[in-house]
Amino acid sequence: MKIGIITAMQVEHDQIAALLTDITAMEAATPGAPAVLCGSLGVHTIVLA
């Protein structure tokens, strides 16, 4: 299994999130920040923070 961790600004966050499947959202540690998403992109597991 490969895991990628991506940090992104809000616009990029939304664009990348649109590509993920099997998404699970977790609350961000920083108030007002977008949720931390964990999902799949092909055979890769992606954590988007």
Dmax over CA atoms of the chain, in Å, equals 31
In total, how many domains does the chain have?
1
- Which residues are within 8 A (CB) of 34 and not within 5 positions of it... i.e. 6 or more apart? 10, 13, 14, 28
- Domain range for 8 is 3-48
Q: How is the chain split among helix, strand and coil, in percent rounded to 5?
A: 15, 45, 40
Looking at residue 47, what is its pLDDT?
A: 86
pTM above 0.75, yes or no: no
Q: 26-44: per-residue pLDDT in tens?
A: 988 888 887 888 999 888 8
